[in-house]
Amino acid sequence: MTIAPRKYSALDYIRIPFRTHPVLSGMKALIIIVSALVPSVKIIGTASFVDTALDIFKNGGYSRIYAPLLLLALISAYTYCIGIFLNLINTRLTLRLGEEFRTAVTEKRSRLEYRHIENNDTWELISRVSNNPEGRISGGYEILLELLSIILMVGGILIVLAAQVWWAALAIIAFSVPLFFVAVKSGKTNYEAFKNATKYQRKAGYLEWVLSGRENVEERALFGYTRSLSERWYKEYETARKITTRTQALNFIKMKSSSIITIMVAVLIAGVLLIPLGNRLITVGMFMGLVNACFNLVQMMSWQLSYVMHQLANNNEYLKDLSAFSMLEEAEGANDLPDADIGRHSLESIEFKDVRFKYPGTERYVLDGCSFRLDRDKHYAFVGINGAGKTTITKLLTGLYQDFEGDILINGRSIREYSQSRLKALFSVVYQDFAKYCITLRDNIFLGNINGVDDERIAEVIEEIDLSETLARLDKGLDTPLGKILEGGTDLSGGEWQRVAIARTLAGNAPLHILDEPTAALDPVAESKVYELFGRISKGRMTIFITHRLGAAKLADEILVLKDGKIAELGSHDDLMALGGTYAEMFEAQRSWYA
Amino acid sequence: MSMTETKGPRPNVMKAFFKLLPTAFLAEPFLFILCQLVSIAHGFSWGITTLVTQRFFDTAELMARGMADMAAVAMSLLMLGLIYFSNQVLNGVGNFLPQVYGEKALGKIQQGINEKMARISPVCFEDTKMLDDINKANEGKNHAVFFVILVTFVFTFYIPYFLFMGWYLFSLKPILALAIVIVFIPAMTSQVLRSKVYAGLEDKAAPIRRQFEYYEGCIAGREYFKETRLLGAFGFFMRLYRQALELLNKERWKATFKTSMYELLMKVLALAGYLLILFMLFEALMGQEISTGAFTAVFASLGALFEIMEEVVCRHAGNIAQQLGTIQNYLNFLEIPERGGSDTVVDPDCDIRLVDVSFSYPSAESPAVKNASFTIKKGETIAIVGENGSGKTTIVRLITGLYLPDKGYVLHGDKKTSDISLKYLFKNISGVFQKYQKYQLTLGDNISISDTSLVPEEDYLDRVSSMSGLDPKDEAFVNGYDTMLSREFDGVDISGGQWQRVAIARGFYRPHNIIVLDEPTAAIDPLEEKRIYERFARIAKDKTAIIVTHRLGSVRLADRIIVMDKGEVVDIGTHEELIDRCSKYSEMWESQAKYYV
């Protein structure tokens, strides 16, 4: 199954389950429809039982009672046990939907253009859609069936009634229609009002976190702001609570109006039926059966009806989300493997030509006329203040963002002519927030060269990257899962994780290595070790360091200083010091501490 | 996520109930009582409907036989309508009121939690077991309030209802009262069985579910997205994902199937009971001991009887069993030891003295700080240096008194930090922390949060801001001090550099004689970094200042430097002294300085 880009409608709550498993979906529908008809059969059962019993009192013939008694018993047995089978079918169907629909959602997510992942609005949409999608679909299907069931239940009773006294049936219809109308309306207002309250609930939720979170404990204790913030929390909480209470009160009134109308209808029917009962036009049993059936509707017409209406509105929102999600653009070749033909000598040059770029939905050009040229086998360092666009350059190079102005040439050809597969093979990046894959150590390294890396090479990599000691500590060697997700996993220190990430680069054949500011949570000693290690494994390849630690930049053949989205200065360390510009100023600022 | 589920002694329902009852009652006493009264009336009203239905059917039957007149039947029909009407009103109110009560009471209880949070020892947040209780206390309190309501409703709703039905059935024919027992037993057994079977199977499924969700994150989660794509690892993870899902579904199916079969067994048993009651009714009817009206009324209400029994025994008891864990977390949270000490005023101009101080984090094998002894004179600027994990942050927390030593003591003037309440201890202390908070509040609140007893006046805020290099008139702050610093709450996002300045202003806003300056490790460009140090230097002047730093360059600000290694104070002295005699220090210095010579 794939998530086709289109507008999804309530019909899809039927279509998707049927496409996933027609038999289960059909069985589910069948059971719910049959169950909806039970109250009507029960009327007939009760009627025939009571009438037979009364007749026996008069005329004898005890054994005639067994058939209607059996019917009553069967009805009871069915209502009592069917829930279990329904639950089994439901579970099975939901599990199958998990295998089909959820996997399809996940696959669609993996192919999305990267901007949708970084953009908060679309990311929230994605999170909403992929939160228990199988449950949303099977729940949506179920609610539609429940609605059908309510209609059938009422309809069935009406038909039995109409068969006895046709005009009473008309009267009940006249009452039921406005009833449905009220219920439909209450479902809608409900949704709006709750949305309104969430604004305050989110604020209260945030303050609750500030008042209890572990990250805040130091400031909370020192600054002692609990009392004042707790009062503010209470204000937000109460505002939200009053809104929800008011809506709930309204809902309860609406809901209970439905059942009170139903009571009135039931009393009306019972009253009206008294005339034919008095005239012996209907039997005592039929009278009792009908009256019971009507009064049994009372609870259903409040709780079940309002629940169904509420869920319908809710499910409609999910459909809107699903439609929007399905139409998010996908990146072509997103899940392709790196091109196996590209080797470490496949890169001659990279050239940025007057590149301008702003992140989607923002106004500021992060890169604004950025031009430079990088040549094979040289080491480069990109330096600049935060937000100068250093990391953005890697995102453009690796094809994560494609809608930039100007051109980027790789080996003299525009990056737009390169397939994702080739780009993936060209670059190996150790990101600042590199991934800590909680899989085995072997797989962690294997991912660096997914087209094939043998155990021998893995052993070499481990050796070169100083992970031998770590390896010795793992009880299942290379097959030990890292991290705490898999059972028997071993957690690594921050520095070890970083070396695992660098090991991936080493295992691969990419002709360009990029190291993106590896400094988070590393002390200076550890940090300089990372630079040295990376420099060592990247000998004889094009390398890019992205850093604000100028001492490390000194190691590069050429330093590119980014400022306001442009290359402000370019040259070797000595050139730039002689130039006396931004770089020199920054370097002096750091050196002054050590002079 | 945590592998270690709390497997303490099984929490006891009644014990938890009696512990929670006073809190729940006192939070909203009036509503609480009202809920119970409505609940009793509600319970009875269900029983009465059956009784009145029978009366109605009886008179209707008499009428059909020509033994009663229309008026009498109409009267009893009206009565039936009224009873149903009040039953529905009670049903509405009876369901609505507990919600109102619950939410109101939760507000009060949460305030209690907030205040308790501030009273427990900060070090408790480092204890994984306690942290679990702390984190789940909020969830637990939600469950706790409704748990209390549910348990009270057993007494005020369910028992009255069953008593009434029991009495009614008994009055029809004594043996029929057995129905209540027949209804109860299978429901109970099935619940016990289910919770046992399910718990075991759930334990098996939990790790697979964690795996499955993790692989989904590897494929499409934010933190893995770009790397997985660039590595071309989609296929790799998709395979693992599908495998985990298949396994998980197998377990889930097994669990559902097994519990369903148990349930079916129990249902068949219950059904036998049901049919037995039906048969008893039938016998009574045929023996003309009860009227057809009674038969029909009871038959119609049998469904409700079973449903309500199932509701209380299976649904409610099931929910309670599930929630008892977090309720226990909440109860544990209330028991967490509080930070003691008395409200004694500390001399604002005093030395701080550490005497043979050792400290270990809860459940850590080796101490984070060992046998530290030194004195910080008033007005002195002290730098603390050392590698990651050498105990720098811990020793600062011991100096300020945020943590209390396991061995030895810390003196502020002549008073031990353990003898002073947090509020009084911190009266003259402020700080800028490594992981400073980015409060999603207004700019003004972000600064003035460090001392909520002051009224934030614009003049003072301006002064503090300018000392911190923060310009409230910057275009980023669209509404000056009223700018909301959070995109989520319809405000603005500001840069990391701006946040840093806000944090410094916050530290500065709080009146202090002692200030802690913990260096930020987040990436900051060199020029900004230098400016931060200059601000630190300005703040440190005339006050006792403790600076924690990685970048040894900044130690020049300090009068003395404390060098830490593996929890021990290796040496204390000036930069020149340490370069000469402390190898640890000179090694660290070298590794950084070599880039700049």
Q: At what angle do helices B317-335 and B13-27 cross, to 10 degrees?
A: 70
* String of DSSP letters for B252-304: HHHHHHHHHHHHHHHHHHHHHHHHHHHHHHHHHHHTTSS-HHHHHHHHHHHHH
- Model confidence pLDDT, tens digit, residues B585-597: 888 888 777 777 6
Residue B380 lies in a domain: yes
Residue B50 lies in a domain: yes
**Is residue B390 domain-shared with residue B518, that is, in the same domain?**
yes
- Contacts of residue B542, defined as CB under 8 A and 6 or more positions apart, other chains included, come to B379
Enter the DSSP assignment of B441. Answer: S
Q: Given a cut of 90, is residue A374 above it in pLDDT?
A: yes
pLDDT score of A504: 92
Residue B520 is predicted with a pLDDT of 66
What share of residues in chain B are helix, strand, coil (percent, to 5)? 65, 10, 25
| pTM of full prediction above 0.90 | no
Contact list, B533 vs chain A (CB under 8 Å): 593
State whether B143 and B42 are in the same domain.
Answer: yes
How far is Cα B154 from Cα B166, in angstroms, rounded to an integer?
Answer: 16
Q: What is the pLDDT of residue B405?
A: 95
Phi/psi for B186 (5° steps) reads -65, -35
Q: Are residues B128 and B261 in the same domain?
A: no
Contact A417, B200 (CB under 8 A): no
Six-digit token pair at A413?
A: 């050809």
| CB distance A384 to A370 below 8 Å | no
What mean pLDDT comes out for the span A107-115?
Answer: 94
Residue among B180, B171, B166, B177 at smallest CA distance from B289: B171
Q: Measured between alpha carbons, how far is A550 from A559 in angstroms, rounded to an integer?
A: 10
At residue B546, φ and ψ (nearest 5 deg) are -120, 115
Restricting to B residues 566-585, those with a Cβ less than 8 Å away from any Cβ of A are: none
Predicted pLDDT of residue B472: 87
Q: What percent of chain A has pLDDT over 70?
A: 96
Interface predicted TM-score (ipTM) of this complex, two decimals: 0.89
Amino acid B526: pLDDT: 72
Residue B323 lies in a domain: no
Chain A interface includes B118 (CB < 8 A): yes
**Spatial distance between the Cα atoms of A70 and B421, rounded to a whole number of angstroms:** 77
CA-wise closest residue to B358 among B414, B405, B311: B405
Quote the CA–CA distance of A439 and B241 in Å, as a whole number.
12
Report how far apart, in Å, the C-alpha atoms of A8 and of each of A116, A190, A313, A320, A322 are.
Answer: 20, 23, 15, 7, 7
User: Looking at the structure, do residues B368 and B492 belong to the same domain, yes or no?
Assistant: no
How far is residue A77's CA from residue A286's CA, in Å, rounded to a whole number? 22
In this structure, the answer to whether residues B519 and B506 fall within a common structural domain is no
Cβ–Cβ under 8 Å, residues A90 and B260: no
Which of A87-101, A380-394, B110-124 is predicted with the least confidence, judged by mean pLDDT?
A380-394
Q: On the CB side of A472, how many CA atoms lie within 13 Å of its CA?
A: 5
Q: How many CB atoms lie within 10 A of CB A82?
A: 16
Residue type, A185: K
Say which residues have a Cβ less than 8 Å from residue A218's Cβ, sequence separation at least 6: B122, B397, B402, B431, B433, B435
d(CA A268, CA B190): 41
DSSP tag of A389: S
Distance separating alpha carbons of residues B298 and A572, to the nearest angstrom: 96
Q: Are residues B362 and B377 in the same domain?
A: yes
Q: Is B160 a domain residue?
A: yes
Q: Give the alpha-carbon dihedral of B297, B302, B304, B310, to 10 degrees.
A: 170
pLDDT score for B223: 86
Q: What is the mean pLDDT of residues A294-315?
A: 85
Number of domains composing chain B: 4
Do the beta carbons of residue A481 and residue A511 sit within 8 Å?
no
B221: how many CB neighbours lie within 10 A of its CB? 18
Nearest to A22 by CA among A92, A111, A121: A92
Q: Is B344 helix (H, G, I), strand (E, B) or coil?
A: coil
Nearest to B354 by CA among B324, B384, B314, B326: B384
* Residue of chain B with shortest Cα separation from A525: B591
CB contact under 8 A, B260 and A302: no
pLDDT of residue B399: 94
- Separation between Cα atoms, residue B480 and residue B442, nearest integer Å: 9
Which amino acid is present at B194?
R
What 3-state DSSP class applies to B565?
strand
Nearest chain A Cα distance for residue B412, angstroms: 15
Integer Cα distance of A468 and A462 in angstroms? 6
Do B520 and B380 lie in a common domain? Answer: yes
**For the sheet containing A413-414, what is the strand order?**
A367-375, A349-357, A405-410, A413-414
How does pLDDT run across B149-163, given as a tens digit for each residue? 999 999 999 999 999
The minimal CB distance from B274 to the residues A76, A226, A255 is found for A76
Domain ranges, residue B446: 439-511
The per-residue pLDDT for A235 is 95
Q: Are residues B419 and B449 in the same domain?
A: no
Q: Which two tokens stand for residue B378?
A: 């008033």
Task: Give A185-239 pLDDT, tens digit per residue.
Answer: 665 666 677 777 888 998 999 999 999 888 889 999 999 999 999 999 999 999 9
Domain final residue, candidates B150, B172, B194: B172
SS3 B68: coil
pLDDT of residue A279: 86
How many percent of chain A have pLDDT more than 90? 44
The pLDDT, as a whole number, for residue B276 is 86
Token reading at A51: 């009438």
Does A526 contact B253 at a Cβ distance shorter than 8 Å?
no
How far is residue B584's CA from residue A121's CA, in Å, rounded to a whole number? 50
Residue ranges, chain B, pLDDT below 50: 1-8
Residues within 8 A of A (CB atoms), B 125-164 only: 125, 131, 134-135, 137-138
Reading phi first (left if > 0) and then psi (alpha if -120 to 50, else beta), residue A106 is in alpha
Residue B6 has a pLDDT of: 42
In a domain, B295, yes or no: no
Distance between CA A519 and CA A582 in Å, rounded? 22
> What is the phi/psi pair of residue A422, to 5°?
-70, -40
B594–A593 C-beta distance less than 8 A: no
State whether B144 and B226 are in the same domain. no
| Beta carbons of A103 and B219 less than 8 angstroms apart | no
pLDDT beyond 70 at A179: no
CATH value at residue B368: 3.40.50.300
Q: CA-CA distance, A33 to A26, in Å (whole number)? A: 11
Q: What is the pLDDT of residues A419-465, one digit of tens each?
A: 999 999 999 998 888 889 999 999 999 999 888 788 888 988 898 88
Same domain, B284 and B198: yes
pLDDT of residue B7: 42
Which of A288, A289, A435 is facing B227, going by the closest CB pair?
A435
- Residue B2 included in any domain: no
Chain-centroid distance of CA A22 in Å reads: 26
Residue of B49, B104, B113, B125 for testing the chain A interface, max A β-carbons within 10 Å: B125
Q: Show residues of chain B in contact with A421, CB under 8 Å.
A: 232
Do B373 and B405 meet the contact criterion of CB atoms below 8 Å apart? no
Q: What is the pLDDT of residue A413?
A: 93
Per CB-CB distance under 8 Å, the chain A contacts of B271 are 76-77, 80-81
The string of pLDDT tens digits covering residues A311-320 is 888 899 999 9
Q: What token pair was written down for B561?
A: 């430097």
SS3 string, A297-333, reads HHHHHHHHHHHHHHHHHHHHHHHHHHHHHHCCCECCC
Phi then psi for residue B230, to 5 deg, are -65, -35
In a domain, B456, yes or no: yes
- pLDDT value at A578 more than 60: yes
Reply yes or no on whether the pLDDT at A63 is more than 90.
no
Question: Which residues in chain B have their CB less than 8 angstroms from residue A551's CB?
Answer: 592, 594-596
**Pick from B73, B257, B525: CB nearest A586:** B525
Q: How high is the pLDDT of residue A519? A: 62
Within-domain flag for B340: no
In sequence order, what are the beta bridge partners of A429?
A514
Shared domain for B494 and B545, answered yes or no, is no
Domain stop point among B172, B203, B226? B172
From the CA of B274, how many Å to the nearest CA of chain A?
8
Please check the confidence at residue A132 and state whether its pLDDT lies above 70: yes
* Same domain assignment for residues B66 and B188: no
Which of B172, B194, B224 is the endpoint of a domain? B172
For residues B230 and A513, is the Cβ–Cβ distance under 8 A? no
* Tally of CA atoms within 13 A in the half-sphere of A213 that contains its CB: 12
Instruction: Choose the most confident range, by mean pLDDT, from A55-64, A401-410, A456-465.
Output: A401-410
Domains of chain A: 12-326 (1.20.1560.10), 349-594 (3.40.50.300)
3-state helix, strand, coil in chain A (%, to 5): 65, 10, 25
φ/ψ bin of A406: left (φ > 0), alpha (ψ from -120 to 50), beta (otherwise): left
